[in-house]
Structure 1
């Protein structure tokens, strides 16, 4: 065994590596099989990669705390004031108030605007032999959706999207948020602060107004909580949702038999969305901080250590999913972790599912046949998310 170890290079897992952005799955398999509780020197954090371990951590918020932030590289001042970066009981208070604002009515209200937006952007692509799925469709659709839900002024759309894209990124060289990324977060926080102040003076029938006025037993969200919640939702709603929609399109381009099945029977799109969330989710890795020592797989993780929960790896774990590296839209992948789990399961998951379903119902009607133009993709550099910066598709057979 020692002789084999000398011949093999030391295994490393660097969540900031462009190679991991491009294809994390071979490294994930090594982690699961050989290093299920792994100390990443590059990240300065532990990495959990097996489904059962990630799920157990998600369900044990007392041990795996989010109170010091849930992003692998956290923004200053965010921890403790958002759903994803707080623990019960503070988390429960925030979730109850925010959930009371995100009503079923709000979900129903996005269906027609989302469909109208999808049709409008697809009409602009008519007769084009190639198009960028990200820049010309998914990002425009998610910006439209967020601006509709929050009733935001349309003239700021381009700047909002630019800063949302920068916020999810991490510098692969310095392995942290760069001054540009931090400036984007501050810009978005200032933008949200101005929105909240204006909407408090003139509330309307929109999600931002609902956040401001939400009340349970006389308790309301603090202004800072509303601002940081809006900042986070804009980032996630624009870039993370757009990224997932793009990866869904990538999966269909790489698996034409699946695309053809959805064209023939659009009722299969919801199952295909669940399989895409399992197979290739945009939300790849999130962080927790240990409140006590934990021994796992022969390793001792100490209280105060940061732990990366690799959702993308857990979703490819053969201990949980049969033939996990196969994209199979007939699979009933209901137990995937594409939207997290436990108390921090994504509150916007239903909106994300509905928006993606509408986006692809319309796309597959307008463009029933497409394929990738480039084999090599340029990926957004991020320690949390995975999505292509551009995805050029060729229309037709």
Structure 2
């Protein structure tokens, strides 16, 4: 039987790892007909591609199924030197916001979210805890007005999905993106009139040696941050919760000693990253493992596969709290390593510290989970937990 890897398949959404192993062992440079791009699945090849931006360009988009008008205007969809300029200006905005000052507000948000599930015998971790936490944290960091949190979350989740049949963004996904863009534009306009100590105000005013973000860059950076802040952080949290629910020995160790959360977070980023696959565009011919990929071809970097590559991580299919994985690809790599990784780690650590004070012992109630239809990200749509 001919081997097929289809990143749009519900089978891949649910469990890509057996297919990843076949890719790594038998098809390390695989032409994916469904996506019309090559797939790299081994850790070394993916990490190398992340560093070699001159060859593996992001300027034509980095999502497997890209959103309109986004390519070339965000951190993830530009190459140096434009990328370096954008990153410096965005970093400047982050520094001005003093994100360390968010730690206590984050903890209060986490406490309130955890209290909402106190006494429950069963609850949906995503709906009743992680989404409440991530949305409120994002609103606090960006300075978004309260009142329509659920709508913003719903639109952000739709933005990262794709239609598993058409293998493209459907009308509902494009409409969600356009809604989010218009929403961000209205907030930016308000902040220009009355700046505050929030990220959107600092994006609007960020300046280094006279250089500023232009209107399109401010708008699309803000739109992307809302999407990433809600869905990427939410996916990160749900995957960690899933791992801790499934591996009782790790969960018991972490709840007994919260200092171990940092190790659990890193191992989850390796073992079950929500950021599974991103796209690049070849600027020249590349030959790997006897196969030549041509300039102009698109390439999928399967981060989720690289993180399970036994050539880099011994016994990769074991969730090992003592592993302390170095160089995992849970936040990407190279010039496009996630700018928000530090705040994401801090937020997740705080959230689970507070969650475990209220719910220290839990397991999932269903083995078959509904997974988000996305060619780029992987996370469950529902994660029902039983409290013990």
Q: Counterparts in 2 of 1:1-397, with a 5 A limit?
A: 9-103=1-95, 106-396=98-388
Gaps of at least 5 residues in structure 1 are 1-8
Give how far 1:277 is off: 0.1
Give how far 1:104 is off: 7.8
CA distance in 2, matches of 1:148, 1:105: 11
Please state whether the residue corresponding to 1:287 is helix, strand or coil.
Answer: strand
Runs of 4+ in 1 over 6 A off after TM superposition: none
TM-score normalised per structure 2: 0.99
What whole-Å deviation, never above 9, does each CA across 1:206-255 have from its counterpart, x for those lacking one?
11111111100101111110110111111111011101101100000100
What whole-Å deviation, never above 9, does each CA across 1:149-178 have from its counterpart, x for those lacking one?
111111121111010000010100001111
What whole-Å deviation, never above 9, does each CA across 1:274-325 have from its counterpart, x for those lacking one?
0000000000000000011111111111111110000000000000001100
CA distance in 1, matches of 2:383, 2:325: 25
CA distance in 1, matches of 2:46, 2:142: 33
CA distance in 2, matches of 1:105, 1:96: 14
TM-score normalised per structure 1: 0.97
Gaps of at least 5 residues in structure 2 are none
Give how far 1:261 is off: 0.2
Work out whether residues 135 and 230 of structure 2, in 8 Å CA contact, stay in contact via their aligned partners in 1: yes
CA distance in 2, matches of 1:82, 1:388: 27
Work out whether residues 196 and 223 of structure 1, in 8 Å CA contact, stay in contact via their aligned partners in 2: no
CA distance in 2, matches of 1:112, 1:234: 21
CA distance in 1, matches of 2:387, 2:34: 41
Give how far 1:195 is off: 1.1
Give how far 1:106 is off: 2.6
Q: How many residues align?
A: 388
CA distance in 2, matches of 1:220, 1:151: 20
What whole-Å deviation, never above 9, does each CA across 1:358-393 have from its counterpart, x for those lacking one?
011111111110011111100000000000001000
Please state whether the residue corresponding to 2:98 is helix, strand or coil.
Answer: helix
CA distance in 2, matches of 1:105, 1:264: 34
